[in-house]
Amino acid sequence: MKSAFIAVIGRPSSGKSTLINRICRQKVSIVSTSPQTTRNKIRAIYNDSEGQLVFIDTPGYHVSDKKFNLYLKEQVKSALEEVDLVLYVIDVTRKPGEEEGEICRITSAFADKLVIALNKIDEKNNYVVEIRKFLEEEARTAKIFEISGLTGAGVGELMDELLDIAPEGVKFYPEEYYTDQEPEFRASEIIREKAITHVRQEIPHALYVEISDMELQQEGQKLWIRAFLVVERESQKGIMIGRGGRMIRTIRLEAQEELNQIFPYVVHLDLRVKVNPRWRKNNSLLSKLFK
Ligand SMILES: Nc1nc2c(ncn2[C@@H]2O[C@H](COP(=O)(O)OP(=O)(O)O)[C@@H](O)[C@H]2O)c(=O)[nH]1
Ligand SMILES: [Mg+2]
C-alpha cells in the first residue's frame, strides 16, 4: 500500500487548487481568477486500490515583504517540511519569473522528491519551451509532466508517477474521506469564493469570512449558518451590500446552493457584512485565520 503527503506549490494562480479538485473529484479547495485565493494549507485526499495520497494545497508563492504575504510564505515553507513528495505546478502561459527561481532554490533541498507539472497545456499560447530550458538549469533532476488541471489531460500519467514514487505505508485517513477540513472552515471558504467572484481589485484581499453561528435545527434536518463578510472599509461594505442589497443577496444565494450540495442538511444561510479596519495588520487574527 502506497501512502504519502504531497505538498502542492507554485506561483499564485498557477492552477494548484483546480488540479487538486480534479484529482480528488471534489470541490475541496476554492478557485478564482484572483491571485491568493488559497490562504491556508488545505488537505485533499485521493484514494484508490494502490494507496492514499494526501495533497496539501498551499497559498501561492509570491515574492513580496508585506506581512500578509509573509504569512502565506510561512505556510508554504512549513508545508514542505511535513511532506514525502513535492508537486510543483507551473503555469505555462506565463514566462518563468523571479518566483520560479526562488521556488527552485527552496525545493532544491527536496530534489529527490520533486515532481513538476507544466499546467494549462490546453492554452495554445504558452512558454513551454522557455520553461523547459529554465528548468534544465534550475531543477535538472526533477521529473516533468505536461498537464491541464482544467481538462484533465496528462493528469493520469502524473498520478501514476506520484503513486510509483510514493513510499509504502498505511492510510492516514478513512477511505471515504476527501478532506479533513472542519465544516465551519469549509462553509467560510465557499462563502468567500462566491464573494470574491463578484468583486474586483483590492476587495478579494481585504475580505475574510467569519462564521458566528452554526446550528442544527428541526431535529437535525436543517443547518442554520450565520456568517459575516468582513471587509476593511465602509466603502467596501457598501460595495458588498450592493444597490438595494442585491450583491449580498446574490452571494448569499450562490453560497447557500453550494453549501446545500456539500452538507447533508437543508442549509439556511444568514449573511451580513461588517467592517474590521486594518485586520490584515492584526497578528492574532492573522494567526487564527491562517492556522
Ligand atoms: N486554461 C486553463 N486554466 C486553468 C487551468 N487550471 C487552472 N486554471 C485557471 O487559473 C485560475 C487560477 O486557478 P487556481 O486553481 O485558483 O490557482 P491557484 O492559485 O494555483 O490555486 C482560475 O481562473 C482557473 O480556472 C488549466 O489547466 N487550464
Ligand atoms: Mg489556490
Residue that terminates a domain, selected from 101, 132, 165: 165
Residue at 170 is within a domain: no
Which of the 8 DSSP states describes residue 152? Answer: -
Cβ-count burial of 261 within 10 angstroms (0-12 exposed, 13-18 middle, 19+ buried)? exposed
Which whole-number Å values give the CA distances from 157 to 78, 97, 117, 118, 201, in the listed order?
Answer: 28, 27, 11, 13, 37
Q: What mean pLDDT do residues 231-254 have?
A: 97
Question: Does any ligand 1 atom lie closer than 6 A to the CB of residue 120?
Answer: yes
Contact between 15 and 38 (Cβ < 8 Å): no
- CATH code for the domain of 279: 3.30.300.20
Q: What is the tens place of the pLDDT at every residue in 191-208? A: 999 999 999 878 999 999
| Structure confidence at residue 158 (pLDDT) | 98
Are 159 and 191 in a shared domain? no
Q: What is the tens place of the pLDDT at every residue in 125-152? A: 999 999 999 999 888 888 999 999 999 9
How confident is residue 177, by pLDDT bands cut at 50, 70 and 90? Answer: confident
**Number of neighbouring beta carbons within 10 Å of residue 196:** 20
| Structure confidence at residue 135 (pLDDT) | 94
Q: Where do runs of H (alpha helix) occur along 122-154?
A: 128-138
Averaged confidence pLDDT in the chain: 91
Residue at 75 is within a domain: yes
Are 146 and 187 in a shared domain? no
Cβ-count burial of 137 within 10 angstroms (0-12 exposed, 13-18 middle, 19+ buried)? exposed
Are 190 and 279 in a shared domain? yes
Q: Which residue has the cell 494526501?
A: 54
How confident is residue 27, by pLDDT bands cut at 50, 70 and 90? Answer: confident
Looking at per-residue pLDDT, the higher value among 116 and 77 belongs to: 116
C-alpha to C-alpha distance for 270 and 80, rounded to whole angstroms: 38
What residue numbers bound the domain in which 136 lies?
2-165
Are 151 and 202 in a shared domain? no
| Structure confidence at residue 3 (pLDDT) | 96
Residue at 176 is within a domain: no
Tell me which residue has its CA closest to atom 28 in ligand 1. Answer: 120
Does residue 279 surpass a pLDDT of 90?
A: yes
Question: Does any ligand 1 atom lie closer than 6 A to the CB of residue 12?
Answer: yes
Ligand nearest to the CA of 34: 1
How confident is residue 35, by pLDDT bands cut at 50, 70 and 90? Answer: confident
Using DSSP, state whether 211 is helix, strand or coil.
strand
Backbone torsions φ then ψ of 162, nearest 5 degrees: -60, -45
pTM of the model: 0.84
Residue that terminates a domain, selected from 135, 165, 195: 165
Are 188 and 80 in a shared domain? no
How many whole angstroms from 186 Cα to the centroid of ligand 2?
14
Residue at 116 is within a domain: yes
Residue at 171 is within a domain: no
How confident is residue 89, by pLDDT bands cut at 50, 70 and 90? Answer: very high
Question: Does any ligand 1 atom lie closer than 6 A to the CB of residue 150?
Answer: yes
Are 6 and 130 in a shared domain? yes
Are 129 and 269 in a shared domain? no
Residue at 211 is within a domain: yes
Q: What mean pLDDT do residues 211-230 have?
A: 94
Residue at 154 is within a domain: yes
Are 93 and 150 in a shared domain? yes
Which whole-number Å values give the CA distances from 104 to 13, 28, 31, 141, in the listed order?
Answer: 18, 27, 25, 12
Q: Which amino acid is at 1?
A: M
Using DSSP, state whether 140 is helix, strand or coil.
coil
| Structure confidence at residue 63 (pLDDT) | 63
Taking 3-state DSSP, the helix, strand and coil percentages for the chain, each rounded to the nearest 5, stand at 40, 25, 35
Residue that terminates a domain, selected from 116, 134, 165: 165
Residue at 83 is within a domain: yes
Question: Does any ligand 1 atom lie closer than 6 A to the CB of residue 14?
Answer: yes
Are 216 and 155 in a shared domain? no
What is the tally of structural domains in the chain? Answer: 2
Are 78 and 218 in a shared domain? no
* CA 57 to ligand 1: nearest atom: 21
Are 83 and 188 in a shared domain? no
Looking at per-residue pLDDT, the higher value among 188 and 62 belongs to: 188
How confident is residue 38, by pLDDT bands cut at 50, 70 and 90? Answer: confident
| Structure confidence at residue 62 (pLDDT) | 65
How many whole angstroms from 15 Cα to the centroid of ligand 1?
4
Are 201 and 122 in a shared domain? no
**Number of neighbouring beta carbons within 10 Å of residue 54:** 22
* CA 21 to ligand 1: nearest atom: 15
* CA 89 to ligand 1: nearest atom: 20
- CATH code for the domain of 24: 3.40.50.300
